Amino acid sequence: MRGSFLYAVITGLVFLGMSGPASARDGQSDYYGALGAKSEGRGQDAFALYDRACSSGYLAGCMGAAGMLADGDGIAMDQARARQYFQTACNGQHKVACNWLGDMLLAGEGGTVDAAGARALYARGCSLGHAASCVEGGELIEFGKGGPKSVSDALNAYRKGCESGDPRGCNLAGVVLESDAGGADMAAARGYFEQACQGAYYNGCANFGKYLQNGNGGPKDTVRAREVYRMGCGRIITNLSSCYRLGAILLTQEGGPRDPFKGADALEKVCTSQQSGHRTFKANACYTLGAMFETEFSNADPALAVEFYAMACGYGHTGERCGG
């Protein structure tokens, strides 16, 4: 996925087709000159220097030129030309360039949508050790986009992405492994979900916590399940699955004393979240809060129960307070 240009530079400072040390020095000098020009708002000068660095075989220059063209950053946007610069860098084994060009082809930026081309580029990036390329390519393989569908090949791609440091790949490997198509290997899935959670991919925490809570693929451990759900819920970017499961378990005595206040707090994060999707979680969280403010927290503002029930109904809940 196309992201920080600085990240691309740091992870891919390599050279292409240089005739000797002078060419390398010239390309590097032009590249740093481009950085200076860009910081001063001289977009055209920066682009010219990036282009010259790229022509000298300094791949960071190709990435700089491509980024400016792709985003219209300081110069006129020209995504078709951006593709060409990314292609040059990818040909020179710049793994991030292969990934970003794949993203452009998949999105139809700068030309027609080309899922097959994107799939090939992700495979190239993956072979060069770019973890996200392995994962994104795996998704295309799993769902048969841009080529044949193969669950086993997708699983291999996810595993490689996981091993290369992308925790999303760990989570997706777990999702495949727990499915019938992946052999319903709960023990292996559990291991990958744990890796995803440890890598701060919080959907993985929601999945790993569920396995701990239910004893899937290994021993049941509800105490640890609570801790894992907290990991997923207590971050700046709230994982709604983790928060919902944390709220639900805290309203029971599984893994520790019942804690209605912290349970309600976790459920409120779900109910009031502005994140898209998760309508079932949101509906259930809001409905549970409505019931708690109607009974357990009845000394609080009674209007809150009505408000939470209304939100639950809006998300499609079919309980009694929604006319079900």
- Is residue 60 situated within a structural domain? yes
- Give the end of a domain, one of 58, 93, 128: 93
How many other CB atoms are there within 10 angstroms of residue 128's CB atom? 17
pLDDT above 90 coverage of the chain, percent: 88
- Is residue 13 situated within a structural domain? yes
* pLDDT of amino acid 21: 54
Residues 6+ apart with CB under 8 A from 61: 27, 30, 31, 34, 49, 50, 51, 52, 53, 54, 55
**Which residues pair with residue 58 across a beta bridge?**
15
Q: Average pLDDT of 247-260?
A: 97
- Structural domain harbouring 3: 1-93
* pLDDT of amino acid 299: 86
Q: Average pLDDT of 188-210?
A: 97
Number of domains in the chain: 2
Long-range contacts of 269-277 (CB under 8 A, 24+ apart): 269/233, 269/238, 269/240, 269/243, 270/240, 270/243, 270/244, 271/308, 271/311, 271/312, 272/311, 273/238, 273/240, 275/238, 275/240
* pLDDT of amino acid 235: 65
* pLDDT of amino acid 24: 58
Q: Average pLDDT of 170-197?
A: 97
- Give the end of a domain, one of 31, 63, 93: 93
pTM: 0.88
* pLDDT of amino acid 1: 55
pLDDT digits (tens, 9 = 90+) for 75-130: 999 999 999 999 999 999 999 999 999 999 999 999 999 999 999 999 999 999 99
Is residue 27 very low, low, confident or very high in pLDDT (cuts 50, 70, 90)? confident
Question: What integer best gives the mean pLDDT of the chain?
Answer: 92
- Give the end of a domain, one of 93, 121, 147: 93
Backbone angles phi, psi at 58, to 5 degrees: -90, 105
- Is residue 52 situated within a structural domain? yes
Residues 6+ apart with CB under 8 A from 113: 105, 106, 107
Separation of alpha carbons 83 and 308, rounded Å: 49
Is residue 238 very low, low, confident or very high in pLDDT (cuts 50, 70, 90)? confident
* pLDDT of amino acid 3: 57
Q: Among 7-16, 28-37, 91-100, 135-144, which is the least confidently predicted range?
A: 7-16
* pLDDT of amino acid 2: 58
* pLDDT of amino acid 10: 40
* pLDDT of amino acid 4: 52
State yes or no: pLDDT of 20 exceeds 90. no
Separation of alpha carbons 1 and 96, rounded Å: 9
Is residue 13 very low, low, confident or very high in pLDDT (cuts 50, 70, 90)? very low
Find how far residue 288's CA is from the centre of its chain.
Answer: 30
* pLDDT of amino acid 150: 97
- Is residue 217 situated within a structural domain? no
- Is residue 178 situated within a structural domain? no
- Is residue 245 situated within a structural domain? no
Long-range contacts of 281-285 (CB under 8 A, 24+ apart): 281/240, 281/241, 281/244, 282/240, 282/311, 282/312, 282/315, 283/312, 283/315, 283/316, 283/317, 284/244, 284/312, 284/317, 285/244, 285/247, 285/312
- Is residue 41 situated within a structural domain? yes
* pLDDT of amino acid 183: 94
- Is residue 232 situated within a structural domain? no
pLDDT digits (tens, 9 = 90+) for 47-81: 999 999 999 999 999 999 999 999 999 999 999 99
State yes or no: pLDDT of 141 exceeds 70. yes
* pLDDT of amino acid 18: 43
Is residue 237 very low, low, confident or very high in pLDDT (cuts 50, 70, 90)? confident
* pLDDT of amino acid 22: 56
The pair of structure tokens assigned to 69 is 């063209």
